[in-house]
A and B are shown apart, each in its own frame.
Chain A
Amino acid sequence: MSAVQVDSISKRFGPTVALDKVSFAVEKGELFGFIGPDGGGKTTLFRILVSLLVPDSGRATVLGLDAVKDYRALRLRVGYMAGRFSLYPDLSVEENLTFFASVFGTTVEREYEQIRPIYVQLEPFRDRRAGALSGGMKQKLALCCALVHRPDILLLDEPTTGVDAVSRREFWDLLGVLKAGGLTTIVSTPYMDEATRCDRIALVHRGQLLGVDTPAGITGAFGRPLVGVRARERYKALLALRKYEHAQSVYPFGDVMHYTDRRLDAPVERITADVKTFLDASGFADATVEVLTPTVEDSFIARTESAA
């Protein structure tokens, strides 16, 4: 039995469609990631899974329990971290933790082993008010509070948003530790680079899932060669390349442009040669062209385009 089974869930708020016939499954012990920007429906989906919202249609089953009918039983077994900081800023680290432990009928001491990997990082600040912590520390505290009652599944809604790069890495390291302990974890994030840390991911955009697979599976399905172009006069080269007759898409990725070709049957060597020739002829003699491996972000962009 899957840890989570979702069949054709839809939800709308007034005229806005938040989720449009979304279906997927999460297996026990998986670290599953929902990847996508704001407004895609990730938060709505999480709220349905933890029984805070009722879907307009479709069914969600978490740990074998129906998210609508069995909500009381479900809430006892789920560890949930709402998007953005949702703990008490005027209580200290310790007070927050004690409160959440007590609400679930346990104590911090009893569950210490469970939360130790994270709590050791917080311990020096146990008397500090939660509101005075840095973004990264707040999220670690929220994670602790979600774990303190030993849930059977963890749902974390955008735990790394707005947090600095160092803390983000540390957070994902912690999730890795939890996974090693066998805990099923579902995470949502807008950061594409975090996708590779998950066992499987689902790309979420405008209420729809653009793909559910392992990160390698998603990028492997890119479908066409990806070419990286560098040129000193970046913007001009970009505009010029867009006008190339065989150009399918040209997107800036920092100092590299990601190019895909319209011709589905052309071998990649031909494409790189053609592009180089075109750029030379357009006055960008210094341009370099190479073959790239698609990333999750490339896949996201490609799928968004074809969904549109």
Chain B
Amino acid sequence: MSDLAIQAKDLTRTFGNFTAVDHISFDVKAGEVFGFLGANGAGKTTAIRMLIGLLQPSAGTARVAGFDVSRETEEVKRNIGYMSQRFSLYEDLTPRENIRLYGGIYGLTRAEIRERTSQMLERLGFSSVADTAVRSLPLGWRQKLAFSVALVHRPRIVFLDEPTSGVDPITRRQFWELIYDAASNGTTVLVTTHYMDEAEYCDRISIMVAGRIAAMGTPAALKEEFTVESIDELFVRLARPVEAGKAGTLP
């Protein structure tokens, strides 16, 4: 198989009359950190759900880790890790229990689980809270733990949906360093975020507006192409024509 971790071609998803994802096509190379940007409601979450096998595409195809998302969903799920903003870990379980649960679900042996648990706890500095309910941990810690847990089975690709929302600046950066660390080990990371400044952390990004990909490329190339100082400015430029032109249909 090629060294493309993710391939999407004309991926589409409709809900009744509403088109959430409108024929998007993009590739992500193995080991890349790919930023999937866009406003809330632009279609990012729907797109991710299709890529991880939670939602059937209405049209188009996608291959993740070499498997077709429509027809080989189980293989896709086995080879990826996922962390969403809305839910990451079970709050009334401890970190240790959470790791054991997910390790078991992904078929790790007891020895592997034990080993990775201690590795993870040490790396994050969580040894002292390993047996406290997750609910008592600060938000930033929970997010970092959730990320590690998503990687417990060493998947080749990991999907992160708005992982740093609401988190304090330091923890946010620590989180991105975890992402960098994973990428340096060859893991492909696809992350969605509505923080445009985080776009700069990525190797390549795409910006979704109203279900379509309005721009894609490296942050540097995009800034040059559109002559803007920041990705935030670029986003405003891309989103505004839609808002101004179609008043009455958008909000």
Most central of A162, A235, A300 by chain B CB within 10 Å: A235
**A235 in contact with B235 (CB, 8 Å):** no
- The residue of chain A having its C-beta at the shortest distance from the C-beta of B42 within the complex is A164
**Contact between A255 and B173, CB atoms less than 8 A apart:** no
B184 at the interface (CB under 8 A from A): yes
Among B73-81, B122-130, B242-250, the stretch in contact with A: B242-250
Q: Which of B40, B166, B173, B184 contacts A37 (CB 8 A)?
A: B166
- 1/0 contact trace for A226-249 toward B, CB 8 Å? 000000001110100000000000
Instruction: Say if the beta carbon of A133 comes within 8 Å of chain B.
Output: yes
A255 to B220, CA, bound (A): 9
Residue contact B239 to A166, C-beta cutoff 8 Å: yes
Report chain B residues within 8 Å CB of A134.
41, 250-251
Q: Which of A39, A165, A254 contacts B239 (CB 8 A)?
A: A165
Interface residues of B in 39-53 (CB under 8 A from A): 39-41
B198 an interface residue at 8 Å Cβ cutoff?
A: yes
B131 within 8 A of A: no
Closest beta carbon of chain A to B133's beta carbon, Å: 12
Q: Bin the interface of chain A by size.
A: 35 or more
Contact indicator per residue, chain A 144-180, by CB within 8 Å of chain B (1) or not (0)? 0000000000000000011111100100000000000
Residue B105 at the chain A interface, CB threshold 8 Å? no
Sample of 11 more A-B contacts, CB < 8 Å, known A37-B139, A163-B40, A165-B194: A37-B166, A38-B139, A39-B138, A39-B139, A134-B251, A235-B184, A238-B180, A254-B199, A254-B200, A255-B201, A304-B169
Tell me the smallest distance from the CB of B131 to a CB of chain A, in Å: 16
Number of B residues near A (Cβ < 8 Å) is 39
**Would you give the 0/1 interface string for B140-152, flagging 1 where the beta carbon is closer than 8 Å to chain A?**
1000000000000
Which residue in chain B gives the minimum CB-CB distance to A205?
B168
Contact B235 A255 (CB under 8 A): no
Chain A contacts of B170 at CB under 8 A?
Answer: 251, 301, 304-305
**Which residues in window 150-208 of B have CB below 8 A to A?**
165-171, 173, 176-177, 180-181, 183-184, 194, 196-201
Contact B169 A166 (CB under 8 A): no
Candidates B168, B194, B200; contact of A164 at CB < 8 Å: B194
A297: interface (CB < 8 Å): yes
Asked if residues B236 and A125 are in contact (CB atoms below 8 Å), the reply is: no
Interface residues in chain B, defined as those with a beta carbon under 8 Å from any beta carbon in chain A? 39-41, 138-140, 165-171, 173, 176-177, 180-181, 183-184, 194, 196-201, 219-220, 232, 235-236, 239-240, 243, 247-248, 250-251
Can you give 12 contacting A-B residue pairs, CB < 8 Å? A37-B166, A38-B166, A135-B41, A137-B251, A162-B194, A164-B39, A193-B197, A205-B168, A206-B138, A238-B177, A253-B197, A255-B200
Residue A124 lies at the interface, judged by CB distance under 8 Å to chain B: yes
Whole-angstrom CA separation of A134 from B39 in the bound complex: 11
Q: Are A254 and B198 closer than 8 Å at their CB atoms?
A: yes
Contact of A169 among B180, B196, B201, B236 (CB under 8 A): B236
B40 touches A133 (CB 8 A): no
- What B residues does A301 contact at CB under 8 A? 169-170
Q: How many Å from the CB of B116 to the closest CB on chain A?
A: 22
Which B residue's beta carbon lies closest to that of A305?
B170
Flag whether A252 is at the interface (Cβ < 8 A).
yes
